[in-house]
Amino acid sequence: MSGNGSLVGADETLLRIVEALTESGPAGVTELAERLDLTKSTTHRHLKTLAAHGYAINDGGTYRLSHQWFHVGTVVKSRQPFYVAAKQPLRDLADRTGETAWAAIEEGGRLMFVNGAGSNPTHNPDLLVGDWSPITRTAAGKAILAYLPDDRLDEILVETAASGDGVTPAELRTDLDRIRSRGYAINRGQDISGIYAIGMPVVLDEVAGSLSLASPSRDLVDDGRDAALEALSRAVERVERRLSEREVASGPGSASR
């Protein structure tokens, strides 16, 4: 990032500090300064700024991120049309199938699960919601990738090849062609060992996200696949209908209706 002359150095430093606190937890000024190769005075000023604006807590010289970040994330999520439209259908999908159901989006070439429902103890939604996951190694991610515009997909494939995650662009393109032809993606434990998943895209004019089901039982993708696909398809249709209704309500002339 530092090679981009259009970026603001002080902002980059602040974000490095935020990311360090996110990854490693509470830390003191000296510890952070040494870890990030910054002066203690610079580190201290940034931490004081974060604390003054409510984004960090100073607990006797040890700084931690505050719940203000939780507030920001909640606001961002609640303004995301796909999250809002998928909220109830996702719960109903989990109740109907008895599996864990997920809603996911692509952003910056990465996958984030923005919501989860179900009580399967092997993969509690609280552990994945809000975290980044490999977009090329999950059913939810590949269901989205298969329906992205070609130029956007090309960008992600270049980034994937550079990251060395073990999936070649040629292999991924073959897999995405198969997903487009059948309308869903399957994961047989490539992301999390022992977890099987089926993902289906939510598409209006463009792909908005995906819904998926996950289970520790391979029956989900084998003998139980037809039932899972039927339930997923109904949930996806509900989300697409809700998104379409939101677009109509917010379209031109909506204020006079």
Q: Can you give the CATH number for the domain in which 20 is found?
A: 1.10.10.10
**Of 82, 120, 116, 88, whose CA–CA distance to 101 is shortest?**
116
Whether 256 is in a domain gets the answer: no
Whether 3 is in a domain gets the answer: no
C-alpha pair distances (Å), 71 with each of 20, 55, 84, 185: 20, 10, 17, 33
First to last CA, the chain: 48
Q: Are residues 187 and 85 in the same domain?
A: yes
Amino acid 125: pLDDT? 61
| Beta bridge mates, 105 | 112
Q: Are residues 179 and 85 in the same domain?
A: yes
Amino acid 9: pLDDT? 81
Amino acid 123: pLDDT? 59
154-165 burial by CB neighbour count: b if 16+ within 10 A, else e?
A: eebbeebeeeee
132-133: strand order across its sheet: 132-133, 110-117, 100-107, 207-215, 196-203, 185-188
Amino acid 180: pLDDT? 95
Amino acid 1: pLDDT? 41
Whether 129 is in a domain gets the answer: yes
Domain-ending residue, one of 49, 66, 83: 66
| CB under 8 A, 24+ apart: contacts of 38-44 | 38/13, 42/13, 43/17
Q: Are residues 62 and 89 in the same domain?
A: no
Q: Are residues 116 and 185 in the same domain?
A: yes
| Beta bridge mates, 211 | 103, 200
Q: Are residues 107 and 41 in the same domain?
A: no
Number of domains in the chain: 2
Whether 36 is in a domain gets the answer: yes
Q: Are residues 174 and 106 in the same domain?
A: yes
Task: Render each residue's pLDDT in the chain as its tens digit; 257 residues.
Answer: 444 567 778 899 999 999 999 999 999 999 999 999 999 999 999 999 999 999 999 999 999 999 999 999 999 999 999 999 999 999 999 999 999 999 999 998 899 999 999 866 455 666 688 888 888 889 999 999 999 999 999 888 888 776 666 678 888 889 999 999 999 999 986 666 678 899 999 999 899 999 999 998 888 888 889 999 999 999 999 999 999 997 656 655 544 43
Spatial distance between the Cα atoms of 153 and 145, rounded to a whole number of angstroms? 7
Spatial distance between the Cα atoms of 6 and 179, rounded to a whole number of angstroms? 39
> What residue numbers bound the domain in which 24 lies?
9-66
Spatial distance between the Cα atoms of 185 and 53, rounded to a whole number of angstroms? 44
Amino acid 131: pLDDT? 84
User: In which element (H, E) is residue 95 found?
Assistant: helix 81-97
